[in-house]
A and B are shown apart, each in its own frame.
Chain A
């Protein structure tokens, strides 16, 4: 049972344009959502997060939007840069099962930003 889904395995955008990465979830108990970025041969790096009580969080070029009614979140990167090329993972916390910070990850989306 995939509670967090990233339906687009890959995305290609031109440098300077907007990148939009999408994530859907099924468990309404999730109270916190995070985006991680991963380069090959490295561990995931935290990018940005959002609490379930908010609908938007912005940090520089990165903005995360949360639509609770649709159980959908998205990551916007504006403007996109070649260094943003990586795998992006959406993650959720707080599935209501226990007092833990465990994260449930999506499958990842590979972003390629072309110069």
Chain B
């Protein structure tokens, strides 16, 4: 158990819909990262938040957005969903902004039908 929790574990929805994925970091960790793993792909960095502020963006689609709340949990919002958005979405947390091991949650499997 990494100490990072993600909900829901599975999500099945239709094209055009909007979903919210939730992540609670390890106690004391200030950084939250979101990664996407599509079929046969490695993990692709989406976005990083540190202590409530956005710090880095990867190839995140404009239809996707995220935020980190004062209690440090984070949400990833995916809207106008397309079939190609079906993937595993992982959240990771670390203590610092740059350094420090990243601990991953179990992931949310999103299926868009």
User: Do A and B come from the same complex?
Assistant: yes
Give B39-77 interface residues, CB cut-off 8 Å to A: 40-45, 48, 55-56, 58
Rounded to whole angstroms, the CA-CA distance of A93 and B100 in the bound complex is 11
Q: Mark B1-37, 1 if CB is under 8 A from A, else 0.
A: 0101000000000000000000000000001010100
- Decide if B97 is an interface residue (CB 8 Å cutoff): yes
Contacts of B92 in A (CB 8 A): 43
The residues of A that contact B96 with a CB separation of less than 8 Å are 101
Number of interface residues of A (CB under 8 A): 27
Cross-chain contact of B106 among A32, A41, A89 (Cβ < 8 A): A41
Which residues of A sit under 8 angstroms from B90, Cβ to Cβ? 43-44
B55–A44 touching, CB < 8 Å: no
A43 CA to B26 CA in the complex, in Å?
14
A43 touching B42 in the complex, CB below 8 Å, given contacts A99-B98, A100-B98, A101-B102: no
Minimum Cβ distance to chain B for residue A51 (Å):
10
Among A63-71, A74-82, A105-113, the one that faces the other chain is A105-113
The one of A44, A89, A101 in contact with B99, judged by C-beta atoms closer than 8 angstroms, is: A101
A45 contacts chain B at the CB level, 8 A cutoff:
yes
Instruction: Give the interface of B toward A (CB within 8 A).
Output: 2, 4, 31, 33, 35, 40-45, 48, 55-56, 58, 90, 92, 94, 96-107
| A binding-site residues for B, Cβ under 8 Å | 4, 6, 32, 34, 36, 41-46, 49, 89, 91, 93-94, 98-108
Q: Please, could you name 7 A-B residue pairs with CB atoms under 8 Å apart, sorted by A?
A: A43-B90, A43-B107, A101-B48, A101-B100, A103-B45, A105-B45, A107-B40
